[in-house]
Amino acid sequence: MSAFPGAPSDLLVGPEHGERSNAVRVALLSDVFAKNMGYLENILPKYFARHGVDVHVITMDLPPYYWVDGHQQTYAGFADRLQAGTVEVLDGYTLHVLSHTQIAGYMRMVGLREKLRSLRPHVVQTTTVIGWNALEAALCQPFLGYKLFTGSHTTASVFPLATRQLPWWNKSRVQCSLTRTFPGRLVSCFSEKCYAVTEDCAQIASTFFGVPPQKVELMYLGVDTEYNYSVVSEAAAKERLSLRHALGFNEEDIVCIYTGKFTEEKKLFLLAESVKELRARGEPFRALFVGNGPEGRMLQKYSSSTIVGFMPFSKLGRYYRAADIGVWPGNESTSMLDAAACGLPIVVSDKVVYRAPVNGNGITFKSDSIEDLIGVLMKLREPQIRQRFGSSGAIRMARDFSWQVLAMRRLRDYESVLGSNGFSNLKIGEDRFSHEPGSR
């Protein structure tokens, strides 16, 4: 008999399921998966597994950002397309790669129903509330008996309807209702909760994606504090100096770092121009850009800027610790969390709605204003001020934004709908691994 009300009773044991037949089984559905990126679909399953959960990530054989023009140029050799049919274990969880098909312009997993029937999860967690995969997960729920949780990761910066006042009969609003609101409402009928990762994601979920407001819960994305931590040891201090030297920075330089895609909406020229002007004024600022993309050629024109290509997320922490200020002059990025966890003050545009990474440990500047950005950077010129901002951010990230903390919050939600009996072996809320900075 199952330990959970309404959960599958025939827990399977075999190559796909490992040997933990009595463990709570969670299936996380993600349209894409990239081994080298520190996104929710990579890190949350790792921390679930460390709490004793049998975790399975199900994805499609598509590269990240496949829907963005130029994604092959941006991520060439870094985030390759996965092979359909692959099943492998990563960081304690199992990755399943399904093939895909396109229906009405949207991608759908091929064989998702059969995969879920085979895995028999107690919980299915999706990263979206709309789309074919979320819809199929919802329609399978009554037959397979799992509890469904969804997500909303669409921000206002990439969803124009959220910032436009249009009547309901407007063509764009009607199309949104047909392709997003109605399907999202149907999915929500079968789901327990929708995790929105920012305030504007929550608003979009309830206004445009059909999720009842009472089912929307704000839960920010997290940071992997195993790799992202501040300079608190002698070894980390030596690593910082060594990397700065290798990058061509001296001890007096104030290094402003940006990581991510080099695309127009990121407005990287604002940072490059600001640093160029500051150096012309005799100020010791330098810019460090880590990533790739169409704007890379533009950045190469700035002698005050250093460019480093994409690298696995596990290696980025040392670059943040080698820098002094984190700057994202355009759209928001989850990398702001990682930089804050490494003890950097964060600078973002005042148009960014996602202010969690800068509350108390960062400053905003007037969007598109080089002079205002220069003024903000000058406010952070003194090491003592950067230290004050950076320490506050590192403490907040470890306390409130670590994936360990967020994993426990989600597990408590799962427990609330499944029942506590099967969670006795998970020890939710207990320390299952080290909190020490840089621990592995």
State the pLDDT at residue 6.
37
Question: Could you tell me the residue range of the domain that residue 389 belongs to?
Answer: 234-399
State the pLDDT at residue 438.
46
> Which residues are paired to 348 by β-bridges?
328, 364
> Are 8 and 120 contacting, i.e. CB atoms less than 8 angstroms apart?
yes
> How would you list the strands of the sheet with 325-328, edge to edge?
305-308, 285-292, 254-261, 325-328, 346-349, 362-365
Give the rounded percent of residues in the chain with a pLDDT score beyond 70.
Answer: 89
Is residue 14 included in any domain, yes or no? no
Task: Kindly provide the residue ranges of all beta strands, DSSP E only, lying in 309-404, ordered along the sequence.
Answer: 325-328, 346-349, 362-365
What integer is the mean pLDDT of 80-108? 95
State the pLDDT at residue 421.
54
pLDDT, tens digit, for every residue of 398-422?
A: 999 999 999 999 999 999 999 865 5
* Gap between the Cα atoms of 255 and 65, Å rounded: 29
Cα-Cα-Cα-Cα dihedral sign, residues 412, 414, 419, 422: negative
Do both 34 and 166 map to the same domain? yes
State the pLDDT at residue 426.
55
Is residue 13 included in any domain, yes or no? no
Window from 69-83, 191-205, 208-222, 335-349 with minimum mean pLDDT: 69-83
Whether residue 279 has pLDDT greater than 60: yes
Which positions ≥6 away from 268 have C-beta within 8 Å?
Answer: 258, 262, 289, 295, 298, 299, 329, 330
Is residue 17 included in any domain, yes or no? no
Helices 234-247 and 313-322 pack at an angle, to 10 degrees, of: 90
Whether residue 15 has pLDDT greater than 90: no
Averaged pLDDT of the chain: 89
State the pLDDT at residue 25.
97
Residue with tokens 């124009």: 160
State the pLDDT at residue 42.
93
Do both 284 and 241 map to the same domain? yes
Count of domains in the chain? 2
Is residue 206 included in any domain, yes or no? yes
What integer is the mean pLDDT of 229-249? 96
Is residue 15 included in any domain, yes or no? no
Is residue 297 included in any domain, yes or no? yes
pTM of the entire structure?
0.87
Do both 383 and 405 map to the same domain? no
For the beta carbon of residue 15, count every other beta carbon within 10 angstroms.
Answer: 7
Do both 189 and 167 map to the same domain? yes
Nearest CA among 154, 139, 247, 267 for reference residue 207:
154
Residue 377 has φ and ψ, to the nearest 5°, of -60, -35
Give the domain CATH number at 167.
3.40.50.2000
* Gap between the Cα atoms of 137 and 144, Å rounded: 10
Is residue 252 included in any domain, yes or no? yes
pLDDT, tens digit, for every residue of 224-238?
A: 999 999 999 999 999
